[in-house]
Structure 1
Amino acid sequence: MDDKCIFCRIADAKLPAHKLIEDDLVLAFLDLHPIREGHALIIPKQHYPWFEDLPDLTAARMMAVGQQLARAMKREWGVERVSFFYTGIHVPHTHAHVVPMSHRHDVTSARYLEDGFEEFSLPPSPGGAALTHTAGRIRARLAEAC
């Protein structure tokens, strides 16, 4: 636990939260600044700064809890989709967002909205050669990890 980390303090019950699901590995609770009603966060109870730091078992548990929440959200809000994504923008403690999507752009980056809110603009493709090069760079780094 990191006493300075807000999510560690929530996991340790030193700060209040609107808890939804809790077990030995993870805690799911409502986001205080939701994109949409029902927007929840899932955190590991142990402090891991980034999602790639998570032990496999904890990562799998976070995904399973996300699926449970998504099913409940679909029933409650009658939405077709529920988004699940990791971020680390504001708090360096791994956390996943689970958001019932009332609008197709609820979790869309501004980069995709250059033609306005009712449109969806794909960023330009770098092209086949650039994608091949990028894939090769990533595969080389993956091979280093073995």
Structure 2
Amino acid sequence: MTAAHAQGTCIFCRIVGGEIPAVRVYEDDAVLAFLDIRPIREGHALVMPKQHYEYYEQMPAELAASVMHTGQRLGKAVKKLYGVPRVGFMFTGTDVAHTHAHVVPMVEATDLTSRRYIVEESLTFRPLDAAAPGDLQKTAARLKAALTDY
């Protein structure tokens, strides 16, 4: 639990409770989706559990599945509505310490890599170096072993 949640100041908890307005696009007993007030693209929405969890990995599996399903449904609607080739769906874990996913209609490949909101026009991105196959195998083995705890 974050200090903000403990003090009743988590902005997303306050949105759930109706203390702060939000333009809601979907709501059920466990999940809320509303439009981002600083959208990357028109139709950019947030999907979150109503119950407070700081990070997505803290959610019970059933709730995480519900958030994912809502995001998928919303993504299909956004794709059709805006005629975009793809829709981004991401949990970032930044800005607000209440787990939430972004559903973003992607007009350009750079919509999720900050190009829409970085000021420096001369900024360029370089592709990351490919990981060595042996390193990938080692990482996979470590992740597989870690997954047995969950």
Q: TM-score when scaled to structure 1?
A: 0.86
Letter in 2 for 1:60: A
Runs (4+) of structure 1 moved beyond 3 Å?
none
- SS of the aligned residue for 2:64 comes to helix
2:24 and 2:86 map into 1 onto residues whose CA distance is 22
Deviations for 1:8-32, whole angstroms, at most 9, x for unmatched residues? 1111111000000001101000001
- SS of the aligned residue for 1:105 comes to helix
- From 120, 132, 143, give the equivalent of 1:138: 143
Letter in 2 for 1:83: G
| Matched-pair identity in % | 49
1:54 and 1:40 map into 2 onto residues whose CA distance is 20
Tell me, yes or no, if structure 1 residue 44 matches structure 2 residue 49.
Answer: yes
Considering only aligned residues, what root-mean-square deviation do their CA atoms show, in Å? 2.1
1:94 and 1:15 map into 2 onto residues whose CA distance is 17
1:127 and 1:68 map into 2 onto residues whose CA distance is 36
- From 13, 20, 23, give the equivalent of 2:25: 20
1:72 and 1:125 map into 2 onto residues whose CA distance is 34
Residue 33 (structure 1) shift:
0.9
Q: TM-score when scaled to structure 2?
A: 0.84
Q: How many residues end up aligned between the 2 structures?
A: 139
Letter in 2 for 1:21: Y
- From 68, 74, 78, give the equivalent of 2:73: 68
Unaligned 5+ segments in structure 1 are none
- From 87, 91, 107, give the equivalent of 1:86: 91
Letter in 2 for 1:132: Q
Tell me, yes or no, if structure 1 residue 102 matches structure 2 residue 116.
Answer: no
1:67 and 1:25 map into 2 onto residues whose CA distance is 16
Q: Which moved more, 1:34-43 or 1:64-73?
A: 64-73
